[in-house]
Amino acid sequence: MQEFTHDAPPGREQAVTDEVVASFAGAPDDRLREIVQSLTRHLHAFAREVRLTEREWAAGIEFLTGAGHITDDKRQEFVLLSDVLGLSMLTVAINAPAAPEATESTVFGPFFVEGAPEVPLGGDIAQGAKGVPCWVSGSVRSTDGSPLAGARIDVWEADEDGFYDVQYAGDRTAGRGRLRAGAGGEYRFWSVRPSPYPIPDDGPVGRLLAATGRGPMRPAHLHLRVEAPGHRTLVTHIFVAGDPYLDRDAVFGVKDDLVVEFAEHPPGTGPDGRELDTPWASARFDIVLEALE
């Protein structure tokens, strides 16, 4: 009687990998060929390392199918998957600016929306988002120190309940806006003090986190995308110092240089003369964009 061992003969396994890699050899685009051949090698090595069973791979396909079914124009489960696997932050690290003075980047996340309202300098991006009023200011400069007048700054954030506007029913825009830096590269706006929140965890990615004993929380943050001609576009966050989730961000996005003190103020007059009848907060964050040759 033939004896079956757990491991198939390594030669037979390698032959499958070799055949698939060779099948891509004729890809006319060099970069595409490099990527699909490398992907094949690494995927096959993974399956061999864990001795993937057919049942497990069927569960994997079911997981990916579930991610596809829950994805629509407002919910992007594949971005979440990339984020919780650290692939988003690894890609950020691989493509990080060479200049050490440049502001560090972090994950883009799934909640950016094109076409956010233009807000004048000193304007309020909250637009009804719930939370403690928060004054954010700073400057945008190039790596040589020169101010980047007119730099475009997109800002977006969750409200104090931890939800972005797009997570609510209806089309209300709140907690997001687009500003232009002033003549000296300065910027300032009102928003709400960021709050920690869970990434959407009612789908396959949430079930993966639960099954592996990981949490869905992100530390409080405000998203920024900053663009200026001749400079590398920066995608980053401002994190709040003291947040309990700074050392366990579900998507690994925290970098020390992005953590900022948010000052607390009693009711009174804000820095722009606004009268506040509630406590408010403020933070300063200076931005340096890497000049491209």
Which residue number, 109 or 177, has a Cβ lying nearer to Fe ion? 109
Contact stretch for ligand BEZ (CB under 6 A) within 9-17, 106-114, 146-154, 261-269: 106-114
159 binds, among Fe ion, ligand BEZ, none (CB under 5 to 8 A by kind): none
Which residue number, 151 or 254, has a Cβ lying nearer to ligand BEZ? 254
Please tell me the total number of residues recorded for the chain in this structure.
293
Which helix H or strand E contains 44, and what residues bound it?
helix 30-50
Q: Looking up tokens 């964050």, which residue turns up? A: 285
Q: Closest distance between Fe ion and the C-beta of residue 109, in Å?
A: 5
- Rg for the chain, CA atoms, rounded: 23
Alpha carbon 175 to its chain centroid, in Å, reads 16
Which helix H or strand E contains 139, and what residues bound it?
strand 133-142
Structure tokens at 191: 């928003």
Asked if 203 interacts with ligand BEZ (CB under 6 A), we say: no
Q: Residue from 192, 209, 222, 251 that binds ligand BEZ (CB under 6 A)?
A: 251
Going by C-alpha positions, the residue among 108, 110, 117 that lies closest to residue 73 is 110
Structure tokens at 117: 């309202």
Q: Residue from 97, 110, 177, 203 that binds ligand BEZ (CB under 6 A)?
A: 110
Site size for Fe ion (CB under 5 A): 1
Tell me how crowded residue 214 is: count the other CB atoms within 10 A of its CB. Answer: 12
Q: Residue from 67, 80, 102, 136 that binds ligand BEZ (CB under 6 A)?
A: 80
Q: Residue from 89, 92, 109, 159 that binds ligand BEZ (CB under 6 A)?
A: 109
Contact stretch for ligand BEZ (CB under 6 A) within 40-48, 94-102, 108-116, 206-214: 108-116
Instruction: Give me the residue whose beta carbon is nearest to Fe ion.
Output: 109
Cross-strand partners of 153? 179, 226
Which residue number, 249 or 280, has a Cβ lying nearer to ligand BEZ? 249
Cα–Cα distance measured from residue 63 to residue 53, given in angstroms and rounded to the nearest whole number: 15
Asked if 102 interacts with ligand BEZ (CB under 6 A), we say: no
Site size for ligand BEZ (CB under 6 A): 9
Tell me how crowded residue 74 is: count the other CB atoms within 10 A of its CB. Answer: 12
Q: What part of residues 88-117 is at the interface with Fe ion (CB under 5 A)?
A: 109
- Tell me if residue 48 falls in helix, strand or coil: helix
To the nearest 10°, report the CA torsion of 143, 147, 149, 151.
Answer: 30
Q: Closest distance between ligand BEZ and the C-beta of residue 179, in Å?
A: 19
83 binds, among ligand BEZ, Fe ion, none (CB under 5 to 8 A by kind): ligand BEZ
Tell me how crowded residue 67 is: count the other CB atoms within 10 A of its CB. Answer: 19
- Site residues for ligand BEZ per CB under 6 A: 80, 83, 107, 109-111, 199, 218, 251
Q: Kindly list the residues in this chain that would bind Fe ion in the complex (CB under 5 A).
A: 109
